[in-house]
Amino acid sequence: MAVEVLTTADGRAKTALGRAHAARWFAAREAGQPLPIGQATPPLRPARPDRPALLAPKDVPRRRPGTREGRIALLHAVAHIELNAVDLHWDIIARFADRPMPLGFYDDWVKAADEEARHFNLICDCLEAMGSHYGALPAHAGMWRAAEDTAGDLLARLAVVPMVLEARGLDVTPGMIEVFRKHGETRALAALEVIYAEEVAHVAYGSKWFNWLCGRDGTDPKEVFHALVRRHFHGSLKPPFNEEKRADAGLPPDFYWPLAEATD
């Protein structure tokens, strides 16, 4: 099921399939007959639509959020992040299925993937209501790099994707919410508030399973986290941090502050 989602290119089709698979997973769980985990080989890179064109981050034009075009560009970037997030969550399910994990691990990532699909659809609805659509603008090419860099190591994947990248989302989303509030764009405002509320849990799933694995191995989670982020994440963590939401998500300051000055 995860590989089916990963190999579907169109965004709306990918999210519809993912949502149907998530519903099937949870229906089976509630019936007390969980679906077997199975084994699969996910593609190194997920299928993607022909548009948006993917550019190096430095080549993606910057637009000011004070303009309507700028706000469309901002939402377009969010849609791109959400579509990547759909694939990232299905990828962690398929890629590491050979490691024995409790069923709750799969519950968490199926739920997160389902929520990312809703986020993508909500933002696409906003773009369409503003006369644009996902694919109308270029997007960042580098977004799958973290997945490729951590394809061989579940702990590294948890450290870099939910605990660094999705935690970064908690830092920057309040500023984005303010932009849309200021300009009275209520539809986008509502969508971003849903995203902001639900992303805390995705970071929390990351720290929960990261700590669980370290506990099983008898290692110090903070030290393992620092070593893995330094090895697999390119660049330093950028303050200001959303300390409160990070705490809600089980990320203590001594995990991320020591990495704030790290360089490649």
- The rounded distance, in Å, linking the Cα atoms of 221 and 219 is 6
| Collapsed DSSP state (helix, strand, coil) of residue 199 | helix
b/e per residue 118-152 (b: at least 16 CB within 10 A):
bbbbbbbebbeebebbbbebbbbeebbebbebbee
- The rounded distance, in Å, linking the Cα atoms of 249 and 119 is 19
Using the rule CB under 5 A, give the single segment among 149-157, 192-200, 210-218, 241-249 that binds Fe ion. 192-200
Q: How far is the CB of 19 from Fe ion (least distance, A)?
A: 14
User: Sign of the CA dihedral 165, 201, 225, 256?
Assistant: positive
Which bin fits 43, alpha (ψ -120 to 50), beta or left (φ > 0)? Answer: beta
- Count interface residues toward Fe ion (CB under 5 A): 7
Which residues, listed in sequence order, are joined to residue 55 by a DSSP beta bridge? 140
Using the rule CB under 5 A, give the single segment among 82-90, 127-135, 170-178, 224-232 that binds Fe ion. 82-90
Q: How far is the CB of 174 from Fe ion (least distance, A)?
A: 15
Of residues 159-188, which lie at the interface with Fe ion (CB under 5 A)?
A: 166
User: Sign of the CA dihedral 205, 207, 208, 213?
Assistant: positive
Of residues 6-25, which lie at the interface with Fe ion (CB under 5 A)?
A: none
The answer to whether residue 119 forms part of the interface with Fe ion (CB under 5 A) is yes
Q: How far is the CB of 217 from Fe ion (least distance, A)?
A: 26
Taking CB atoms, the residue at the shortest distance from Fe ion is 202
- Quickly tell me which residue has 């694995």 as its tokens: 213
Specify the residue, 26 or 196, whose C-beta has the smaller distance to Fe ion: 196
Q: How far is the CB of 255 from Fe ion (least distance, A)?
A: 18
The answer to whether residue 80 forms part of the interface with Fe ion (CB under 5 A) is no
The answer to whether residue 116 forms part of the interface with Fe ion (CB under 5 A) is yes
Specify the residue, 83 or 258, whose C-beta has the smaller distance to Fe ion: 83
The answer to whether residue 202 forms part of the interface with Fe ion (CB under 5 A) is yes
Residues binding Fe ion (CB under 5 A): 82, 85, 116, 119, 166, 199, 202
